[in-house]
Amino acid sequence: MISLNIGGMHCASCVARVEKSLSAVAGVTDVTVNLLTNEARISGSKIKPEDLITAVKNNGYEASLKSPAPESHQMAGHDHLSMPRIPTWRVGVALVIALPLMLAMGLDMVAPHNMILPIMAMAYGSAVLATVSLFWLGSSLFKSAWRGIKVFRADMDLLVVLGASAAWGLSIGNLIAAMITPPTEGAMIPLYFEATAVLIAFILLGRWLEDRAKARTATAIGELHRLAPSQIRIIDRDRKTEAMKSPDAIMIGDLVIVLAGERIPVDGIIETGTAAIDESMLTGEPLPVARQAGDRVMTGTLNLDGRLEIIVAALAGETLLAGIIRSVEAAQSSKPKLQRLVDRVAAIFIPVVMAIALVTFVAWLSLGYSLAQAVIAAVGVLVIACPCALGLATPTAVMVGTGVAARRGILIANAEVLEQMGRIAVVAFDKTGTLTQGRPLVSDVLPSAGMTVERAVSLAQALQAGSTHPLATAIAAGFASLNSPESMTARDLQNRAGFGVMGRIGNHLYCLGNRRMLDDSLANAAEAVRNFDLAALDAAGKSISFLAEVSPTPRLLAVFGFSDQLRQGVTQTIESLQQLKIKVLLVSGDSEAAVATLAKQIGVDGYHANILPDQKRQIIAQLVAAQKTSGGGLVAMVGDGINDAPALKAADLGIAMGSGTDTAIASAALVLLRPEPQLVLDALRLSRRIRSKIIQGLIWSGAYNLVGIPLAALGYLNPAVAGAAMAVSSVAVVVNALSLRWGR
């Protein structure tokens, strides 16, 4: 992926031309140009950046390579978003010049045959002011238009220059004629200097407002960048020498000191110290969490009340925060299919407008109107027809919306996800770690005859040593203080995904796992299970693991029961999704009884139990195929992003919920940084709001042109009024998108 900074773009037609020029470069397979960020992202093979830059410049625009920067310095790469293209002083001077001309126009309308000031004096003053406004304050418009003309490109600046120059030239011609043949007392000189000055003023004002509104949309990324401190305090291992270093100088294994009130500058493991950590800016979780030695902490989180010594576990560009920033930037630079259609329309928009203006000019003349009236009507068409709003509608809504989502702990991979979320008809949830806490507790130990609880636990702990499986962790944590009758070490351990673990302790072969594992290991499994009363465990929806000796004496030794608590808000989330006419399913590898109990408790529409990871993928794939056949919408899969990766990829939309690790970010199109089912609903609602804002912006900008162009062609829009309307349209679209920041 190559990123370029693009200069000189003003509207959607500019975007289309830049994309076309970049797409023509050999090796390029995909191009996305964002009007809002003035950035192009290019994918392909064997692409030379200099070839891309040359292609853009040959089309009349500026281009430079956007170099990747260390995490702590990346804010510099976003400065162009907050720096206006139009200086404030230039806008102020333009408005000051336009004001007296607007007053003169109003005075002329009130008392056209009883001029308070001498006619010629007003005319000369208006000519001077309009000339200064057009050729000095509007010089940047001429330069941009000329760059386009040199490469046979017509853009919005050319339309403005043609319109303003036509009004000025017509007025100068009429003024020279009046100087040669002075007008009679009370006669009017048809001058349109106010149209020129007011048009330039409103164009500059509109772009000035647009720049600032667009800069507001970049604040989410800016806030994320600012979370990473620019200097990091490190200390050597003998705790004697401290030094301040930049993030890119920090190495894995370095020891970092973070004092109370400071932001944590690295991803790492706490070696010494305890503190309450505010992780809200990273995950959206408002309550601080307690962290101590051995806990992992993340870049950008805030140390509220303790001194911490942290071992660096990731380089600056590989932190969770860096991954989040890359994810958000990629989403903000991407385009939904709807915008690509808009870009194709915009590519032919300006030539069509120029043709309409020419037809308008000829039609007015052919109907017997004066040259001045024909010119003013044509100028109105040129000025009112601005595709700026059309080009800003989608990127502003996408950028603001994805920024808002990131601050709330929702990472949207690309703009296509927004379209997919609006078409979701089925949501399939994983159980453990998704709808439940994922931290099961050992609630029951049922030993067989001749087996003690202590020995059963010791065997289980030996088999599960080193495992990170939730049930293994539960066994270790639940019996950490148990006085084991003997020290046991398992060897030749074999982990079987979806089944359990098998290993040797002494001369005996043991297994610990689910019912499938037991059936595979013991020929008399069904008979052995009947010796245990599992009805109460099944009725309570508890997960069950079986400890068995495989050889030399095949037998069932003990049964472990595990309970897992529902996450907060699960039932309410399911109900809300169903109210949105979305079918909710539960897909789990747990036992039939445990899954059935939970399904009934939370009220899902259906469930699949006792399935392996690959079977889960197959179920999701079948749902996707069925939905496509019936045309009933898309299928979303919600899981932890690691164990459920195959199912996440098989779904139309994979939603990784919980850990927020790099694996989760890479495995799903939508990542929820907090393990809260409510975020699934929040993401759905937010995506619908973003899509709504996109459609509102496109409807507004399209309707504006459909109504404005005919009115201008019929002579109902003065060029000055048209210029003001054009500026208002662009600002209105951006402000409408910004309203996403203020909604719940």
Catalytic residue among 155, 254, 430, 590: 430
Residues in the chain: 744
Residue type, 13: S
Closest CA to 719 of 108, 727, 87, 347: 727
Q: How many CB atoms lie within 10 A of CB 108?
A: 15
Q: Is 157 a catalytic residue?
A: no
Q: How far is CA 156 from CA 216, 341, 562, 570, 722, in A?
A: 24, 19, 67, 52, 14
In angstroms, rounded to a whole number, what is the distance separating the alpha carbons of residues 291 and 305? Answer: 11
In angstroms, rounded to a whole number, what is the distance separating the alpha carbons of residues 52 and 27? Answer: 11
> Which stretch of DSSP H or E encloses residue 484?
none
In angstroms, rounded to a whole number, what is the distance separating the alpha carbons of residues 240 and 31? Answer: 53
In angstroms, rounded to a whole number, what is the distance separating the alpha carbons of residues 568 and 325? Answer: 28
Which residues are CB-contacts of 99 (< 8 A; sequence separation ≥ 6)?
Answer: none
Residue type, 481: S
Do residues 438 and 432 lie in contact, with contact meaning Cβ atoms separated by under 8 Å? yes
Q: How far is CA 715 from CA 363, 384, 571, in A?
A: 12, 12, 61
CA angle 199, 205, 209 (to 5 degrees): 145
Dihedral (CA of 269, 274, 279, 281) sign = negative
In angstroms, rounded to a whole number, what is the distance separating the alpha carbons of residues 151 and 14? Answer: 13
- Using DSSP's 3-state secondary structure scheme, residue 643 falls into coil
Do residues 42 and 4 lie in contact, with contact meaning Cβ atoms separated by under 8 Å? yes
- Count of H helices and E strands in the chain? 28, 26
CA atoms within 13 A on the CB side of 698: 19
CA atoms within 13 A on the CB side of 173: 9
In angstroms, rounded to a whole number, what is the distance separating the alpha carbons of residues 706 and 698? Answer: 12
Report phi then psi at 644, rounded to 5. -100, 15
DSSP 566: B
Strand-pair category, 296-297 with 289-291: unpaired
Token pair belonging to 687: 């995506």
Do residues 464 and 434 lie in contact, with contact meaning Cβ atoms separated by under 8 Å? no
Q: How far is CA 292 from CA 254, 310, 470, 677, in A?
A: 18, 10, 21, 27
Tell me which residue has tokens 């694996």: 663
* Catalytically active residues, by annotation: 430
